[in-house]
Structure 1
Amino acid sequence: MAEFTWELQPRAEGLVDELVEAAVLDSPRLAALVRGLAARTSTRLQDWLDHIGGPVSDEQLTEVGYVEVAPDLWRHPGAQLPAIVPGDRRVVALRVDDAAVFATAQSSVDGVQGSPRSGFRRAVVSGGDAVVIAGVERRSWGRGVEPQEFDPGEVLRAARAWQLLAERPRGFGGPDEVRAATGVMREVVTLVGHDLAASYFLELERQYWQRRNTAAVLQHSRQDRLGLGWGNNDHHTFRSSRASFHLLVTLLTTLGFAVRERFYAGAEAGWGAQVLEHPGCGGVIFADVDLDPSDVDLDFASVELAEGGKLGTVGLWCALHGESVLAAGMHHLEGQFDFDRLREDLGGLGIGHMKPFSDFPHLRQAFTEAERWPVRQLRLAELVAAGQISPETAEEFGRLGAAGSHLENLARRGGFKGFNQHNVSTTMRATDPRIYRPVTAGE
């Protein structure tokens, strides 16, 4: 898909880095925050940026590929980089999950602007500093950089939408339950629109996943000491059975996600993915599914895939744990980090990493060790009867659990927005519950 051939954007990244470096030099408070991010969260300031402001001309922005999407708001359509707001005063806005939590953690007395769960909410924490430092909740790019105040009706609709998503059933069924979940998504969109609906969905999916992943709990606690939450999220990965895959994509497009590139990991991996991105809230999703060689030329996100045959890595995972959008939750959340430092810091807390599956100057990626989840005995018996796993494997899963979820450690450079479409076969095989073996923390 040629329109999604992402290229490095070093000049655009260089402009962002120049603005960051100048802001840090002008602000002792920001310099202290940068040190805190490194030491306490294993991240860089750039991993958190929603937007940055400073003295930059329209010509400079245009030359490196930025486009003005609203008055004095510029974004780069081909890069994973923050928005830029030209102006006389320097502004550094970090993307956070909850601006009020950020304000409290940073001992701010300036208050919070905007309503909870609105499209854009901001907490300025810099006081009289030369640089405006803020934590922002970004749920809609349509709001620009102006905080949104809800009227009473909007407050009630947002609360109802959140409740519908938070309380939706998460059974162990298949297509019928995914269809029912899609009906919930339609109701939520009717209440609050696509941007907020998709944002709420992702926030609640992160919460659900985190409760089932020790690495996530530990890293979130490190980040939340600074009031950040998962504002450094890069993408969210959902696994699906073949029978439910087109329904999962329908659910996501109902929320307003648009399909981006798709790729196939190779016949030996038997797996492929459809990438989706939300134009409003900015969230990115990887939707994974087992694929046969005959599926490669299909637009496999829009057709009903035939069932049957040997389950691959994704199909077995769903057979053991359920659909990601239902009982299982996400397979992993990928965050942006200082790659080597996170490996070292989590290793010191007893969390190991698997071997990196991308190790390039512009893209580094590795999973933490898998969180083992218990598996229902009935599911194991059904898989043995169907010849999908051996009795010995079923006994191991029943005793130890099976590989469930991960936190993914990612570092991007050069504004690269894409993903590694090579070297994924080895990783997929390594995460197959049938052959997964943990590594030692710190390896």
Structure 2
Amino acid sequence: MRVLAPETSWTTFPEAERVVSLAIEEACVRAPILAALAERLRTLCALRLCDVVESLAGPFAPETLQKGGWLCEREGRVLGQVWRHASPYLPDMIVSARMAIVLRAERIEALLDALELDAPVEGAAFGPFRRTKLAGGGEVDVLAVERNGGRGLFAPALGARKERRGRLHQQIFRTRRRQFRAPEGGLDHLERLVEVAAADLGPDWACALFLRAEREYFTANCAPAALQQRRQERAGVGWANIDHYAYCTSREFLPAAARILSKLGFVSAGRIDDDGHDGALVLVQPTLRCAVMLEFDQAGAISSLDDVASLTWRYQAGLWAALHGESLLEGGLRYLAARCDVSAMAEHFSRDGVAVEPVSDAVEHLVQVAAAPPPRAVYPRRVDELERAGYLTPAAAETYRLSGAPAAHFRALARVEAYNGFAPPDYGAASALVVPDGMPPPTPKRRRMRVRQLQR
């Protein structure tokens, strides 16, 4: 039985945030290249330096780190004690006599070009881990890493065959088939691709390649995300500030979606059960330090994925999947959330003529805004089936037939006091689907719904 993690009580880490902020400020004072990069990120793409910091080294007191929530993970032979936080959104801390800061970049060459530096790069061009030194010899060592599933701070040896296999699996994920007559066949096909990649490369590297392909598919269908990607590429960091990914799944396919992600190294970190009809599973990839929200139609608490059944009604997540296709297949990501200076990001979008709106303020320690593209075209047959089944009002159905339906959006996010949690699924004006008033409460039913007809 696949037991779910209990509903999680998310919390804040103000002391940890203070320690990280002070360390970054001191590093910027001592290393001019850091101050210049911080200004570049702020000006070009509304990022803060802390959004791309992976680890910090310095003479940190173990008691201070322990008080902030870090745990000593290992005694490094070269680097000293390595402390990792329970929250995936706080950097590793390395106890060392010398100060150092390690930055993330999606592509190291892009960062070197942006900073007009010519530095050697360790690690294979398409490998799981690469690194370079941006500055050294002064008071602070400044390093940059490109992490695609590799662990530690040293590039592993990688033969030509393994490098070729990694590039091949990347192309397979990029070009995989997403449209199927029935979602079951599509999810089975995806699961086989994931199993082969994980067996060949390991789950962490396979996961990094899978998520890169997902981002590419997403940005091809979400103009605001593509715009922000170009900004961050000009700054040199690319998508180094990803906070989490959100998928919509029909309730009956939730177990399959969770199983596929588990084979990519994701583990259950909790669930969100609000008082309404929209819930989510939260999965975390420990090596990549990123999370996925699997949003689904909720009908009371569930303790095991084996107990999940279809519903007699579709709410927002189910309607989204029925209109656009399952998120892991044709539908793609519902949204991608990236950490940044939210106010500055909103100003950047406003200057470019992109409307943004606040996301639900149900969680005071999450500040979010959403930038949504125009509605996406949907198959009229799907709309017809949903209207006949009573899931859509006639007016909403006609709007979706002629103008499309809300689909993917980009989300800018800031975590106050290093908050490690998530807000309940929010289907605000930027992404809400229209459903009839007076919907009955959802009740599980064991027989299969007419999913195949709805998904065609």
TM-score (norm. length: structure 1): 0.90
Listed one character per residue, the Cα deviations across residues 14-59 of structure 1 (whole Å, up to 9, x for unaligned) are 1111110111111222111111111111111111111122232334
Alpha-carbon offset, residue 434 of structure 1: 2.1
For residues 243-322 of structure 1, what are the structure 2 equivalents within 5 Å? 243-267=252-276, 270-292=277-299, 296-299=300-303, 301-307=305-311, 309-322=312-325
Could you tell me how far 1:83 is from its partner in structure 2?
0.9
Q: Take 1:174 and 1:79, find their aligned partners in 2: how far apart are those partners?
A: 32
Aligned pairs for 1:399-438 (under 5 A) are 399-421=402-424, 427=427, 431-434=431-434
1:112–1:171 Cα change, 3 Å = same
Give SS of 2:296's match.
Answer: strand
Deviation at 1:370, TM superposition (A): 4.7
Instruction: Give the structure 1 partner of residue 61 of structure 2.
Output: 57
- Unaligned stretches of 5+ in structure 2? 436-456
Deviation at 1:197, TM superposition (A): 1.1
Find the partner of 2:344 among 341, 351, 358. Answer: 341
CA shift at 1:429, angstroms?
A: 7.6
CA gap 1:297/1:310 in 2 versus in 1, 3 angstroms: closer
Greater mean deviation of Cα atoms: 186-195 or 358-367: 358-367
Segments of 5+ residues of structure 1 without an aligned counterpart are 436-443
Q: Does 1:76 align with 2:85?
A: yes
SS of the residue 1:316 aligns to: helix
Task: Identify the residue that residue 355 of structure 1 maps to in structure 2.
Answer: 358
One-letter amino acid of the structure 1 residue matched with residue 202 of structure 2: G
State which drifts further: 245-254 or 173-182.
173-182
1:162 shift after superposition: 1.6
Q: CA RMSD in A?
A: 2.2
Looking at structure 2, the residues matched to 272 and 278 of structure 1 have their Cα atoms a distance apart, in angstroms, of 20
Q: Deviations over 1:103-142 (max 9, x none)?
A: 222222112111234332113223655433333122336x
Residue 201 (structure 1) aligned with residue 190 (structure 2): no
What is the alpha-carbon distance in structure 2 between the residues aligned to residue 94 and residue 346 of structure 1?
A: 25
1:360 CA displacement: 6.2
Distance 1:429 1:259 in 2: 30
Retained in 2: the 8 A contact 1:103–1:123?
A: no
User: Which of 126, 150, 163 lines up with 1:155 in the alignment?
Assistant: 163
* CA–CA distance in structure 2, aligned partners of residues 339 and 429 of structure 1: 19
1:438 is aligned to none
Aligned residues: 425
SS at match of 1:140: coil
What secondary structure is seen at the aligned counterpart in 2 of 1:225?
helix
Q: Does 1:28 align with 2:32?
A: yes
- Who is 1:46 aligned against? 50
Cα deviation, residue 362, structure 1? 3.1
Q: Is 251-260 or 354-363 further displaced after alignment?
A: 354-363
Instruction: Name the aligned partner's letter for residue 146 of structure 2.
Output: E
What is the CA–CA distance in structure 2 between the aligned matches of 1:355 and 1:30, rounded to whole Å?
Answer: 31
* Distance (whole Å) between structure 2 residues aligned to residue 241 and residue 53 of structure 1: 44
SS of the aligned residue for 2:269 comes to strand
Distance between the aligned counterparts of 1:17 and 1:362, measured in 2? 17
Measure how far apart 1:221 and its partner are: 0.8
For residues 243-278 of structure 1, the C-alpha deviation after alignment (integer angstroms, 9 at most, x for no partner) is 2111111111121210111112323xx111000001
Residue 419 of structure 1: CA displacement? 1.6
Please give the per-residue CA displacement for 1:337-386, whole angstroms capped at 9, x wherever unaligned: 10111111111111122233137663212222354111112222222332
SS of 1:81's partner is coil
Report the equivalent of 1:9: 13
1:396 CA drift (Å): 1.5
SS of residue matched to 1:244: helix
The one-letter amino acid paired with 2:155 is: P
Q: How does 1:318-337 map to 2 (within 5 A)?
A: 318-337=321-340
Using the size of structure 2 for normalisation, the TM-score is: 0.87
Q: Kindly, what percent of the aligned residue pairs are identical?
A: 28
Match of 1:90 among 96, 99, 113: 99
Q: CA deviation at 1:300?
A: 5.5
* Deviating more after overlay: 127-136 vs 94-103: 127-136
The residue matched to 1:195 in structure 2 has which SS?
helix
Distance in 1 between the 2:223 and 2:121 partners? 31
